Chain A
Amino acid sequence: MTANKLLEVDGLKTEFKRDGGSITAVDGVNFHINKGEVLGLVGESGCGKSVTSLSIMRLLKDTPGKISGGAVRFEGSDLTKLKESDMRRIRGKDMAMIFQEPMTSLNPVLRIGKQLEEPIRLHLGYNRKKAREHAIQTLKLVGIPRAEELVDDYPHQLSGGMRQRVMIAMAMSCHPKLIIADEPTTALDVTIQAQILDLMRRLKEEKDMGMLLITHDLGVVAEMCDRVVVMYAGRVVEEASVKDLFEQPQHPYTKGLIRSVPKLRQNVRRLESISGNVPDLSRMPAGCKFAPRCPFVMEKCLSAEPDLVAVEGRTDRKSRCWLTQIDERGGETVHEYSAD
């Protein structure tokens, strides 16, 4: 099991300085990604998904954020302890990232080819000519027609979908082992979304990469992922295989998320939603962070926060809820979860 792990996030804690104090945006997050696996990271805006991904890549520079605890093990080595120069060798090479906003994620004053060649020359050591050829090859790989001409274009000459393909090409260019995709299709039209997801799945299978797919769209999760981690208020609240998550969601938050997905076949007038908002990170409730919005809230939820524990003794199925921890025999907690 351990040998198969590509990335292991272990108790990751990221804090942001704000007004003299600090708030914890990511608080003790645990998950792992196996080789060749797609892990979905799901949650509402502001739940710490993106901060988690930036923490893994150590791209928190120029934000007030800082990793204050835990470890991020990539192929065994702890990224949080690496020197910046060693981290640079991993960024863009073994671990690459695709961002949410294709419209603003490319530099407007540099040609597409130039931007693509940068990581290729840096990490693969190619000369200009060879890097350009490789860039064109990669653009073809992501399904861009007339790639030979497009390398000399500027970003503003391309559509959003094309730019996201360029971003994917850029991430793919140095044959990464892990791709972190932060809401890669959120900013795109629905038809383009499907194309980009198809492309990402095809590439993932061809190149046997691991992928961390950050999204708030459960449709994307169902289509792309092997396993899912659900985050709420900076914590993991549920972990499951995609099948289990949709068939038997354990955590009330996950249940709410699944219920909120509009279903075409059912004739309902109102959209389901989870009432209330994500709590302000500086004014967190004392017990379970979801308690104020939870339809099943109990006395205990308000005073003590549950741990993330295995459900029914399965190692691949975890939930952070008192409901799943009080078993039918009347006992209290069962199967305390501990990091491997």
Chain B
Amino acid sequence: MGRYALQRLIGIVPLLFIVSVLVFMFIHLIPGDPARLIAGKEATLEEINQTRVLLGLDQPLWKQYLSYMKDMFQGDLGNSIRSGLPVTEMMKSRFLPTLWLTLLSMAWAVVIGVVIGIVSAVKRNKWPDYAGMLIAISGISIPGFWLGLVLIQIFSVQLGWFPTGGIDSWKSYVLPSLTLGAGIMSMIARFSRSSMLETMREDYIRTARAKGLMEFVVVGRHALRNSLIQVVTIAGLQFGFLLGGSVMVETVFSIPGLGRMLVDSISFRDYTVIQAELLLFAAEFILINLVVDLLYGVLNPKIRYADN
């Protein structure tokens, strides 16, 4: 396992390099002259030229890249064009709410989704299966903003159990993560059901039954782990998307997260912020892919030992 993990880790180095180049190039994809843009609309030609020298935009590209990387490793991603504040600081305050929201949404969605999936598969074509799949279909079909508004109406306005928005305490995260997790839970439920059904047809399941094992041991010990491999893939992908921040949920529940920050910065053409967010999302995805790869290794000895 150690060797496998090391290989995966080394494998992400070239990936990170490519991503950093692409993200760096982003500022040069802007239509027109970035120096002119940053200097502002009323800037004179002289001011624009000053800005160009100040930002190092007059240097050769590879030099610009090196200094960009150097700054990045020191935690400096430049200043916001719009507010002039350091981008790193802005991101820090926005990242935590999104991270919490993601973690809480994923946690309940994975647990409940897998449980529904297993029950549906084991009780295939019986009422627990129909009930489970009804929940799953509803979760996918109901639009998030509507679910969010309904939850606010019932649990905040009527019952007063949870705040309607903001991030004041753990209570603030309950309704948003319910809203955000519903669709993912449904997807995971459907995936684990089909994956489980597939696994239950394997020869080794028949072997396990032929040993005289109880059905819950057959399912829990022999089928579950094999079918989780597929579930990990889909959960990892979803995790990555959520870490980008959900504009919809953050808007409905007024959470100051990355999703809204991205939309704001796009509408104000705040390129340095967009660039920093790009970098963060890419890094997050790479990290999650690494974790998923490692989980494959944990779940499947064949992958773990493949290179030995």
Chain A residues at the B interface, C-beta cutoff of 8 Å: 57, 59, 61-62, 88-93, 96-97, 99, 101, 104-110, 118-119, 122-123, 154, 156-157, 167, 170
A104 touches B203 (CB 8 A): yes
Nearest Cβ on chain A to B240's Cβ, whole angstroms: 25
Nearest Cβ on chain A to B221's Cβ, whole angstroms: 8
With known contacts A109-B300, A157-B305, A92–B200 Cβ distance under 8 A: no
A-side contacts of B204, CB under 8 Å: 104-108
B-side contacts of A62, CB under 8 Å: 200-201, 205
B214 touches A88 (CB 8 A): yes
A106 touches B207 (CB 8 A): yes
With known contacts A154-B301, A154-B305, A156-B301, A107–B226 Cβ distance under 8 A: yes
Give complex CA distance A157, B200 in Å.
23
B-side contacts of A170, CB under 8 Å: 207, 211
B-side contacts of A167, CB under 8 Å: 207
Give complex CA distance A83, B301 in Å.
37
B210 touches A92 (CB 8 A): yes
Nearest Cβ on chain A to B289's Cβ, whole angstroms: 22
A-side contacts of B209, CB under 8 Å: 59, 61, 91
Mark interface residues in B257-274 (1 if CB within 8 Å of A CB, else 0): 000000000000000000
B-side contacts of A101, CB under 8 Å: 203
Give complex CA distance A59, B258 in Å.
54
B42 within 8 A of partner (CB): no
Closest B residue by C-beta to A109: B225
A-side contacts of B299, CB under 8 Å: 109
A107 touches B212 (CB 8 A): no
B206 within 8 A of partner (CB): yes
B207 touches A91 (CB 8 A): no
Nearest Cβ on chain B to A131's Cβ, whole angstroms: 13
Closest B residue by C-beta to A111: B301
B-side contacts of A92, CB under 8 Å: 210-213
Give complex CA distance A104, B302 in Å.
13
Pick from A57, A89, A108, A119: contact of B301, CB under 8 Å = A108
B-side contacts of A123, CB under 8 Å: 212
Most chain A CB inside 10 Å of its own CB: which residue of B206, B207, B208: B207
Mark interface residues in B280-302 (1 if CB within 8 Å of A CB, else 0): 00000000000000000001111
B211 touches A59 (CB 8 A): no
Closest B residue by C-beta to A62: B200
B203 touches A99 (CB 8 A): yes
Chain B residues at the A interface, C-beta cutoff of 8 Å: 200-214, 217, 221-222, 225-226, 299-302, 305
A109 touches B211 (CB 8 A): no
A-side contacts of B211, CB under 8 Å: 91-92, 118-119, 122, 170
Give complex CA distance A157, B202 in Å.
19
B213 touches A118 (CB 8 A): yes
Ranked 3 nearest A-B pairs via Cβ: A92-B212, A91-B212, A92-B211
A-side contacts of B221, CB under 8 Å: 110
B226 touches A88 (CB 8 A): no
B226 touches A108 (CB 8 A): yes
Nearest Cβ on chain B to A47's Cβ, whole angstroms: 20
Known: A91-B209, A96-B210, A106-B204. 4 other contacts (CB 8 A): A59-B209, A104-B203, A106-B207, A108-B226
A-side contacts of B225, CB under 8 Å: 109
A-side contacts of B200, CB under 8 Å: 62
Closest B residue by C-beta to A171: B210
With known contacts A109-B225, A154-B305, A104–B202 Cβ distance under 8 A: yes
Pick from A93, A96, A110, A156: contact of B222, CB under 8 Å = A110
Give complex CA distance A104, B206 in Å.
10
A108 touches B302 (CB 8 A): yes
A154 touches B207 (CB 8 A): no
Closest B residue by C-beta to A89: B212
B-side contacts of A93, CB under 8 Å: 212
B-side contacts of A61, CB under 8 Å: 209
A-side contacts of B207, CB under 8 Å: 99, 105-107, 167, 170
Pick from A57, A109, A122: contact of B226, CB under 8 Å = A109
Give complex CA distance A90, B210 in Å.
9
B-side contacts of A107, CB under 8 Å: 204, 207-208, 222, 226
17 contacts between A and B (CB under 8 A): A59-B210, A88-B212, A91-B211, A92-B210, A92-B211, A99-B206, A105-B207, A108-B204, A108-B302, A109-B225, A109-B299, A110-B221, A110-B222, A118-B213, A119-B213, A122-B213, A170-B207
Give complex CA distance A62, B199 in Å.
11
Nearest Cβ on chain A to B217's Cβ, whole angstroms: 8
Give complex CA distance A257, B11 in Å.
58
Closest A residue by C-beta to B223: A107
Pick from B203, B210, B305: contact of A91, CB under 8 Å = B210
Nearest Cβ on chain B to A61's Cβ, whole angstroms: 7
Give complex CA distance A88, B214 in Å.
7
B-side contacts of A88, CB under 8 Å: 212-214
Give complex CA distance A110, B205 in Å.
12
B-side contacts of A154, CB under 8 Å: 301-302, 305
Give complex CA distance A156, B209 in Å.
21
Nearest Cβ on chain B to A210's Cβ, whole angstroms: 17
Give complex CA distance A91, B305 in Å.
33
With known contacts A57-B210, A118-B213, A122-B213, A105–B203 Cβ distance under 8 A: yes
Closest A residue by C-beta to B214: A88
B-side contacts of A110, CB under 8 Å: 221-222
Give complex CA distance A91, B203 in Å.
16
Closest B residue by C-beta to A90: B212
Give complex CA distance A49, B226 in Å.
30
A-side contacts of B205, CB under 8 Å: 62
